[in-house]
Amino acid sequence: MIGWTTFGASVAPLLLLVFGLLLAGSSSTLNEAVAADPIGALTTILPTWFLVPFAVVAVLGLVGGAVLDIYSSGLALLSAGIRIPRYLAALVDGVLMIAGAVYIVFFADDFLGQFMGFLTTLGVPIAAWCGIMLADLLLRRRDYDEGDLYRPHGRYGDLALTPLLLTLAATALGWGLVTNSAASWLEWQGYLLDPLGLGGKSGSWAYANLGVLVALALGFLGTLALRRGHVREQEARDPSPAEVPAV
């Protein structure tokens, strides 16, 4: 099920990606136009009638994506501890999405650069978290105790200090190895490129996004090195009462 779902969801984007690469490589003028305004550039090489089905598909795709985003972000809002009904959480997220869309369409001067900078900045701590989670899964020989995952005083505790410190350290190191020149409010990043001899913020390594890979590696290797004994101690404890089968 996972394999066929992944395959079906990947075929169309891969075909479009290859087709787009061929289009961009066929003309330097078209390549520059696509980089500045993809939709406007495509209108110059496609028949006018094609814009109608394109607009329909684009709008339906955005609506479908918005519905999924509102559902998942509303659930995340409730998970953060805000005590409001489920429909109000979806309403709050919907209002925020509308406000963001209005700002992007009517007020933002350079949304793409700011957005890319935001994604790169957010990608560093997410990579650190992924490394920690993958290493934790690799260290475990038993399934997680689902009951204790929801108990602050269970075997996993309320706050794991080592993963938190690893995330902070990996994030600090990762932000020092990425640059975001398109976003002026992120020019402070890349502070380790020059001290480490990588050419500074304008060198050949400045836009390689090394910080994402370094954060992932540090989170993964740090967890393997520091959490092995703690994981074994967790797994040696008796299961929570919810897991004990009734006699």
- How many domains, in total, are found in the chain? 2
Are residues 125 and 236 both part of a single domain?
Answer: yes
Are residues 236 and 120 both part of a single domain?
Answer: yes
Instruction: Answer with the one of 59, 80, 109 that is the final residue of a domain.
Output: 109
pLDDT value, residue 240: 61
Q: Which tens digit of pLDDT belongs to each residue from 14-55?
A: 998 898 888 888 888 888 887 777 777 777 788 888 878 888
Instruction: Answer with the one of 81, 109, 137 that is the final residue of a domain.
Output: 109
Per-residue pLDDT, averaged over 152-164, amounts to: 86
pTM score over 0.75? no
Q: Tokens at residue 194, please?
A: 């020059």
Highest mean pLDDT among 33-37, 150-154, 189-193, 220-224: 220-224
Which domain covers residue 96, as residue numbers? 10-109
DSSP annotation of 241: G
In a domain? residue 3: no
Are residues 161 and 116 both part of a single domain?
Answer: yes
Per-residue pLDDT, averaged over 86-95, amounts to: 85
212, burial (CB in 10 Å: exposed 0-12, middle 13-18, buried 19+): buried
Highest mean pLDDT among 5-14, 22-31, 143-152: 5-14
Are residues 152 and 34 both part of a single domain?
Answer: no
In a domain? residue 2: no
For 135-147, the DSSP string reads HHHHH-SS---HH
Are residues 143 and 235 both part of a single domain?
Answer: yes
Are residues 101 and 120 both part of a single domain?
Answer: no
pLDDT value, residue 239: 65
pLDDT value, residue 246: 46
In a domain? residue 67: yes
Q: Is the pLDDT of residue 242 over 60?
A: no
